[in-house]
Amino acid sequence: MVPDLAQVRAEAHVVALPLRTRFRGIEVREALVFEGPEGWAEFSPFVEYDDAEAAAWLAAAVDFAWREQPHPLRESIPVNATIPAVDPGRAVEVLSHFDGCRTAKVKVAERGQTLVDDVARVRAVREAMGPEGRVRIDANGAWNVDEAEHALYALAPFDLEYAEQPCATVPELAELRERVRHADIPIAADESVRKAEDPLRVAREGAADLIVVKAAPLGGVRRALGIVAEAGLPAVVSSALDTSVGLGMGLALAAALPDLEFDCGLGTASLLAADVTSAPLRAEGGSIVVRRAVPEPDLLRTFAASPERRDWWFERLARCHALLAG
């Protein structure tokens, strides 16, 4: 069911939220939020995504705003801290914004940086977390197989929980997984699931030990649950630098999974310097209570995007809506 475009636009707002530190190449996160019969939802595919890919994000948002979601199996979700590719000293400062989190995901393989930078950052986080903390890394597919193998052995002394998307393609992930099997570093697939025409290929080809799923790019909570069930692999639910409105959908997905072995990447509101609500979905004691966020009019006005950016998002919304309706 796709509501009329006018229904979606009736309560739609475009916001531009500043980040605490540069992340994923941006310093401001733009998002379009709107309200439906079931509550608020978010449409925020990154600006470089084409309409075909962005339409899945709109399908997810419409589903979240217009349909009742699957029954939650848990009331709160344990989450990890997310550390951008910052200097080691900044890494510890960023970590302090994630209250009680005992898992940290560290970004590595940043363009313009070296493995020396990655090792220093991961070392700083490991020292801050202590031996009982869990540290995972995310390369966003930036390494080839040889580079990934070399990097994982260099980072292995820091007792990695897993390496997320170290290489870009499924065959590369499968080869790397074989090469590092005896090093006991599990491989997680993210982009090879959420950006793939066939999100189950990683499971069929033995290319990953676990999968990372995001509700928005996979078309919503129900479709993501179906992918996890068919893949038959442990799943980590993550976000895409959402506002608290978007994080509510990720929490709904994590809450509905039959099994949840890993802390989830849903604490990223702590990377934002502002949000659409004064009660953001941030970690408290390492977990976030499952709930939906409701934007506040004053904050929607304060952080409203410029008229030019608002029009850009509304035009994108119309194009993606046409794809869904068609």
134, β-bridge pairs: 103
pLDDT given at position 326: 86
Are 53 and 113 found together in one domain?
no
Q: Is 51 annotated as a binding residue?
A: no
- Is residue 164 marked as binding? yes
Same domain, 170 and 62: no
pLDDT digits (tens, 9 = 90+) for 101-126: 999 999 999 999 999 999 999 999 99
Point out the residues that are catalytic: 107, 214
| Residue 41 and residue 190 in one domain | no
Where in the chain does DSSP place strands (E)? 13-23, 26-36, 39-43, 76-78, 81-83, 103-107, 134-138, 160-164, 187-189, 210-213, 235-237, 287-289
pLDDT confidence band for 161 (50 / 70 / 90): very high
pLDDT for the residue 31: 98
Q: What is the residue range of 29's domain? A: 5-69+297-325
Domain count, the chain: 2
pLDDT tens string 215-268 = 999 999 999 999 999 999 999 999 999 999 999 999 999 999 999 999 999 999
User: What DSSP letter does each residue of 170-191 carry, written as one string?
Assistant: HHHHHHHHHHTGGGT--EEESH
Q: Any binding-site annotation on 138?
A: yes
Task: Return the CATH number at 314.
Answer: 3.30.390.10
52-92 pLDDT, tens digit per residue, is 999 999 999 999 999 999 999 999 999 999 999 999 999 99
